[in-house]
Structure 1
Amino acid sequence: MNKPVFGELFLDRTDGRNAIHLFAAQPTPLEDKNLGRAFALIEFDQAEPFTEQIVQTIDETFSEALYRSSDFETEAAFERALHKVNNAVHDLINAHGEAWTYQCNALLGVIHDTSVYVSTSGKVDGYLVQGETISDIIQRSQTTEVQPLKLFSSIVAGKCPERGGLLFTTGNLLDYLSLEKLRRIVKDHTASEAVDYLNGVLSEQDTLANIAAFIIKFENVKAVAPSADHPELDRSDFTESGDSMSKLIEQEKATGDLLTPSIWPALKKRVQNTEQRRAVSDNYVRSQNPYVNALQLTGRFLLNLGKQFMVIVGNIAKWLGQMIQKLFRNRDTISATVGGSVSGAAGWWKRLSLAQKIFVSFLAATVLVFVISVFTNDRSNDKADLNEQYAATLQEVDNLLGETESKQLMKDESGARTSLAKASELLAGIPKDSEAYEVSGSQLQGRINQLDGAVNKVTIVTEPTVVGDFSTSVGSATIGTMALIGKNVFGFAQGSAGIWRLNIEKQEVTNVLVDAATTSGYRSIENDTAATSLAVIGNTDFVQFNPVLEKTSDVTVQLKDNDLVVTDMDVFGDRLYVLAAQQNRIVRLQKSGSSYTDSTSWLNDGVDVSNAVSFDIDGSIYVLLADGVLNKYDSGEKSDFEMDAFSPSLAGATRLIKNDPTDPFIVLNPTTQRIVVLEGDGSLRAQYSSPAFAQATDVVYDADANTVYVVAGNKVYSITI
């Protein structure tokens, strides 16, 4: 089993001011099994007479508190140990003042199996090396100021892949080596080799700086007792040297600052397996193992036999060629011999001797078998090539899923969704009846399905809560749109002017208005006051619905253009906005009494909403397009707005709700059987999926109850978001 191996770089200079210190605990086997191995890296910008007392106190307090903890969980024990260290630091401040805390750069950590926990104060660098990447896991440039009374106040935790490596170092190491150089050193060497290499490189540098570092890699090691050649290293003495070049450090680290301080980067990123090809020598090298010798001799014998066989095949081919020339030596071509006709071919066949007929038959059969074998072999090769391509694609899918898991741990939600979408697309392109898919395709699809719920924030609602069923009253009518007024949901029919009331608290449905005179049906409903709703019937006829009087009344809306086809509408303040996608227009009207007049085109020239399906207003106008794009518009122009990428997209969505700047976006997408909830900035909050939503025609949102009501198949479902 691979275990973490520590390489300790301690570059000692006799002149200078800064002091460095390394500490690696030597736990008992039981302590190591239960809690792991503790380590510490401490640097002082300037040594003081009491510096060694400080580091000795920190070392002893940390180690004793960790291994004497009553907690058997490493992280809990580590937290308690840090608390003890902070208390000890408080006592040191009482004795020596707090000035030294601002000159102290320290890291305390513990590694248990592949789990790593570290806490830092001041300027200490930490990197995860994995494959071709090196990632900053400390984020020194983003750490908070030193708090003397709580020196170690935060923990970075995560899992290090066994194929990766960790580098914890004083900041001045980057004065002499780039991040890329450090990545190659850690990647290509064992922990001890990497330390030796760094010692060799740094010894050639004209530096007055003390440099200390831990290089941790997972290696297959056997437990051995300490010897004179390999003494236990408990604590390094202090020396002094010059200040580090902080400006150069910041320049080097600028390209690596990718993550927040509390998250590992790329913890579970998969490393793609590459086939190792080795050249095989033709020379025979005698081995001391008799079995190896026998195998080598057998191989050489078979190789020589194969060469002889090829010589024989060549001679047979040469003989066949001579026979063909002899057979047809008096004829210019085969076509001339057969006379270009069936009768000529028959005559030619009759003139052949029995031996010649046998030979020709054998030759024809041989050619036929050869052609069939070539064709079959080509098909087999094509199939093998395809399977190799599919296998490579499946490996890429596996790598992308590893990236998805890593980015998910790093809280990079957008990156995780992008990687997962790519993996899903690649896997969908591989035939399920292929050999490669049978090996790992189903397993990868299972991982995709499992990750999809977490990465795309999908909640499967198997049986959504039913708060009412219009079917008990509407007969053959279908509820197409709804309006929420108070604690009542009013359902408006498609294809008729029928209106029904659903009391949410009592879950009772009652008839409100049934008017067979109008057969166009309600197209869009919006609350125009706190107690009434404005509805459009057909394309251009508007009515106001009063639930108290339980009646509708005509409303004059002067659209000017009689050819407008209303896609959606919204009332904002004392203005009515009408979306007419077919005419690529948004029209604004001013309320005057009980009418809406002064129709003006709100969109500026060149703005395209011709494929819009719905819109809503919270001060800005948000337009949902048929392809799932959500755009924001202000003053007739498109504004900067970016929606999170997630899967599936909003393509096929039919309804958008955004009533207030503080409200989320609510999007109904029957195509994907989902209710999608977005934050006001366009980030994904949640997706609710249910087969019941496949027939959904409208949604309304109760902001006070934070509940969405969905009508589907005349049933009304509620979802608390």
Structure 2
Amino acid sequence: MNKIEKLLIFDATNSRTTAHVFIARPSPAEERTLGKLGFVAEIASADRINQELLSRLQDFLKAAYYTSPEVNSAVAFEHTIQACNRYLSELISDFGSAWVDNFSMVIFTIRDQEIHFADAGRLLGFLIHDKKVTDLLGNRSGLQKINPLKIFLSISSGELKSDNAVIFSTANLMDYFSIERLRRTIMETPLGGAGKNLEDILRKDPNHAAFAAIILRAQAAEALLPTSLETIAPNDNINGAPQRSIDNMLAQNAQTQEFLTPSMWPFIQKSARKLFTRIKVLFRAWILRKPTRISAALEAENLKIEPSGRLRTGQVITPPRSRLVTKTIGKTLFNKIPNFIWQSSRQAWRATPKLLNSIKNLGGNLKRAPQQIPATFERQVNTVKSLPQKSRWLFLGVIGVAAVLAIVLIIAGVQRQRSAAQQVITEKISNIEKNLETARSVLLYGDEDRVKTLLTDAKKEIETLPNKSKSDKAKRESLLTDVESVLAKTRHEIKPEIKTLISLPAEIKPLGLALLGNNLYTLNSQNNLLVSVSLQTSEKKDLATLPGNPDILEITTFGSGNLTAITSNLEIIEQRPSTQKGTRYGLVLPNPNANLVGLVNYNTALYFIDVANNLILKATRAGPGYTATNWLKQNANLDSAADIAVDGALYVLTKQGEIQKYNQGQRAQLALSTVEPPLTSAVKFAADTNLQNFYVLDTAGKRIVVFTKAGKFVNQYVGDALANVSALVVNERTKKIYLLNSSDIQSIDIQK
């Protein structure tokens, strides 16, 4: 009897990912025939469609598996996985493909001790056995991007033996548990209690992270003898669903650990055991002429003694068969071993000159030894010096042979290490080239975000390649050149012609830029003088002087023809350009230590950000002044905010280049496409009801980056002259971007 436990911690409101766990409840007859079906799934986003998508997938899998005409659980599972791949293609048609790269799932079925599973994405899977933990998914999970046409690529099969356990879970489980702690939590807890223990620990997480896991445990009373893959896998293997066994995974893991062991001692032990076993069999069969019993150690070496099949442990070999043993061992003794000795001798001969030179100098070193080495070794050195000359030379010869053997072993170890290192490098280069080919193919279909992710991963891999020899440097340069050539096609860089409308006099220190009708307005920060520039004639006019001290922080348009400014003394100034006199109003804030950033008008209200208190403030006229209240209905992180814009929804630009979207005081979903180079510094942006796109000013990157309001990257205007821009306004109707660049007011033509 198997015990299945599940864990699901998911808050649909606050979790940043969507997690789901499913364990089928079949009828008794269905469970006896096909066992239990289940899955663990995660989508690394909080889109509302995720739960609908996983719910549909759950219903489909249960129906497809338990209505299968097959009575063999392995064959039924294979047919279900194939049908699931086709159904996932239909879901992509219904829901789009944005969720595919964030999708991870493990589907499994277990009947008695027989288990089959298929995985996709970045989940975790561990087999816990004999106080050891083996990673079932680590060699494959997350290394390859998901193919939307065939999400599940393979099926693994095996047997869950007595007192063993398998856990499938989301990857973030390892942020809270080490491998050893996870093993103890599962194996040292009574049946049915492991999931509860995990949940009690993970519920304490303050970040509202989503966790999902399923634990499968086999009870000792139901233990069965281990079986091979052939007894588990169906006879009619389905094309496109390669089979793997858990036993093979364990054996491969053990071989890998042995190969990575830095010591030569395991290799020497293994070789010595092989040689001793073969000599023992040869002695019994060839010298004593007695029937030879094949030991388990010899059988494990897969000696091809009988062409018709393998010999079992303890089987008696008749004299004719013993001659086959003799022939096999003779080939080892008189061919392989002499060849090894010959190769070792050649290497020793090459080291002979240095060895003879050392021996030649050894006599003089021995004479000086008592004065140079510690007193502890003085007696041994004197003993060697007192030996007869022939004995001394014999002793030195033994030392020399031992040194040669040590050198040979060291050389063999170094060569083996270099071979392993070269194999790792070759695999890295192969993965980089595969990413490049995939990126070129994906680029043809317009999925530039996927291309950028692939190429970013490729660049990180290139950085880990060796960079010592000329060939290493040439290979790195070649790969980087290939990556840059593909990446350049995704940058959409435009080098615009920047036209100067007017250069303001040196005594004017312009602050801000606003567009009303056919005129641009800026403010002289030295004396609050309002200056207008005609877009038709580029003529400058000095208008009214705003009342109060020259302490203005921001200016913006207000209503149909007014300008509004906010001061460092927390006052609001309203000014109509056609009049000489403006009005200054007081501003009441909820916090006296406010640090205000940005200013924008929407529907007779003013909006700005208090970065000191992480608030978005809405200010409205109330009697003789303005009163500001907190517009947010939830907590927000705004300490790095750089600018604000409103078009019905409210947007906050951070200095790191992120745009946060809010609707009615609540954070809304908005993710910007990846830009190359990444957008990591931003100062201003334009987004209002008259614009279809975001225009983000990145002075450090000397560019203006354009996104749609859904977050899709459009293009970027680049040029050294953009490094000193302090403000921008956009008129998409006339296809112009206006810039305040030091004392110059400039324009750029919008291009598609």
Q: Normalization by structure 1: what TM-score?
A: 0.48
Greater RCO (CA < 8 Å, at least 6 residues apart)? 1
Q: Normalization by structure 2: what TM-score?
A: 0.46
